[in-house]
Amino acid sequence: MGVSSVSSEQEKVSSEFFARFCGMMFSSLKRRDQRRWARLYLRGLLSIEGRKTMRGIASLESGPAVEQSLQQFISQSPWGWMTVRRTLAGYLEQVIRPIALVVEPLVIPKSGDHSVGVERRFVRKLGRLANCQQVVGVWLASEQEACPIDWRLILPESWTGDPGRRRRAGIPDDEVSLSVEECAAEVVAGIASAWGLRQRPVVMDAREIDIGRMIFEFSERGIPFVLRVHDSIPVSPSDPRIPLGMGRRIQAGQLIDALRDVSRIVEAPRAVNGAVSASRPAFAVSARVHTPFRSSTAEAGEPTLTLLGAWTVPEQRSASVWLSNITQLPPGALLRVAQTAERVARERAGVTHHLGLRDFEGRSFRGWHHHVTLVSAAHAFWMMLSNTGSQLSQFL
């Protein structure tokens, strides 16, 4: 996924678009040299094949001490990464017309234990103990496109409680240890309160985290959510017309199966080789249910949520199961929001493997945030470059 792989027509215009994109994205950087290094780093993320190293990126520009200056810009320079992220989010809101914020926890394996936030923990996807960073990413997503806009590094107590480690990594005093659930809720709440974006449902695959805690954290902050859950979680139908009886405690998957015969066909866009093609049929059904997961802001008794089940084909044995506190959307609309998680899963491969999200080896908290911010900007540029020139010129 390098610049060398773009079409000849895109190659003609990419230089001009790149300059304009960088001018907009890095307008908050006060010094000319900072904007220069930001452009160089972004170019390296986009053009270098394989691992993105500081030396490799610096080799794109000749001159004395380029690598040292680039290293200083990423790891030590005090430019504000949050301002760049907000600029990126505002741009994307206009360009891709997002319908959801997708939250994705991510584990980044590391070979050593010196990178900021690294701790040895059991990684379920790897099936073993590994040194790794634990990260929460937030993406703006439409049905066709998605791009990360914010990142949080979950710092274990072995880092926040060690004054020496905090000092060496430059961890701010207000950074504390949080659970994945707390971190996800806090980052979304911060975006909602300070970034000036429209409120959108938060979509998240919650099958590997504490679903009760996640519902609590989002509900406490008034965040609308659509959470993918295991089909074994307990629910109680709240509508007497629902098969199996009102108030009976059953597994979510059992209730969805009982409703299969009344599922509705909805249309969902399908991506083929990165391009959106004709819609595919999907089958969705929803029901109002009670869950045992509570919050202090909920009314007395168990909170009422929407349970959504979806099949790609009616013969599919098991459905994907979602819980949402959004009650006003029909099943088809709710499914379209939920399926933005699939779009993010596809786009994440490009961010992690091709744009070097996992490649930062520095030890500083500031450097890690600078790196992932520029990875987000690189993905946005690549995404827009993949569109037609007329679409790019409209916004850049």
Q: What is the pLDDT of residues 346-369, one digit of tens each?
A: 898 888 888 999 999 888 999 999
Q: Confirm if 89 and 195 have CB atoms less than 8 A apart.
A: yes
> Following CA atoms 191, 193, 199, 202 in sequence, which dihedral angle do they give, to the nearest 10 degrees?
50
Residues 6+ apart with CB under 8 A from 72: none
Looking at residue 240, its pLDDT comes to 74
**Among the listed ranges 72-81, 113-122, 201-210, 256-265, which one has the minimum average pLDDT value?**
256-265
Please report whether residue 57 resides in a domain: no
- 43 within domain boundaries: no
Q: Are 124 and 140 in contact (CB under 8 A)?
A: no
Residue 201, beta-bridge partner list: none
% of the chain surpassing 70 pLDDT = 83
H or E, element range at 369: helix 365-385
Residue 67 CA to residue 56 CA, distance in Å, equals: 9
pTM, two decimals, is 0.88
Could you give the number of structural domains in the chain? Answer: 1
In a domain, 266, yes or no: yes
Q: Output 192-199 pairs: Cβ under 8 A, ≥24 positions apart.
A: 192/221, 192/223, 195/86, 195/89, 195/90, 196/86, 196/90, 197/89, 197/90, 197/93, 197/140, 198/93, 199/224
pLDDT band at 9 (very low <50, low <70, confident <90, very high): low
The residue count of the chain comes to 396
Given pLDDT bands bounded at 50, 70 and 90, which one contains residue 185?
very high
Residue 180 lies in a domain: no
pLDDT confidence band for 302 (50 / 70 / 90): low
- Give the C-alpha separation, 26 to 396, whole Å: 13
Residue 273 lies in a domain: yes
Tell me what pLDDT residue 286 has. 72
Q: Which residue has the higher pLDDT, 328 or 67?
A: 67
Which residues, including other chains, have CB under 8 Å from residue 319's CB and lie 6 or more apart?
Answer: 231, 253, 256, 257, 260, 309, 310, 311
Task: Report the pLDDT value the prediction gives residue 88, as an integer from 0 to 100.
Answer: 98
Whether residue 295 is predicted with pLDDT greater than 70 in this model: the reply is no
Q: Is residue 249 part of a domain?
A: yes
Q: What is the band of 2 on the pLDDT scale with cuts at 50, 70, 90? A: very low
| pLDDT reading at 12 higher than 80 | no
The sign of the dihedral angle between the CA atoms of 246, 291, 225, 294 is positive
Higher pLDDT, 395 or 319: 319
Instruction: Say if 246 falls within a structural domain.
Output: yes
Minimum mean pLDDT among 51-60, 190-199, 256-265, 348-357: which range?
A: 256-265
- Tell me whether residue 267 is in a domain: yes
Other residues' Cβ atoms within 10 Å of the Cβ of residue 230:
13
Distance of CA 230 to the CA centre of its chain: 20
Q: Which domain holds residue 259?
A: 225-327
- pLDDT mean across residues, the chain: 85
Q: What local confidence, expressed as pLDDT, does residue 278 receive?
A: 39
What average pLDDT does the segment 95-123 reach? Answer: 90
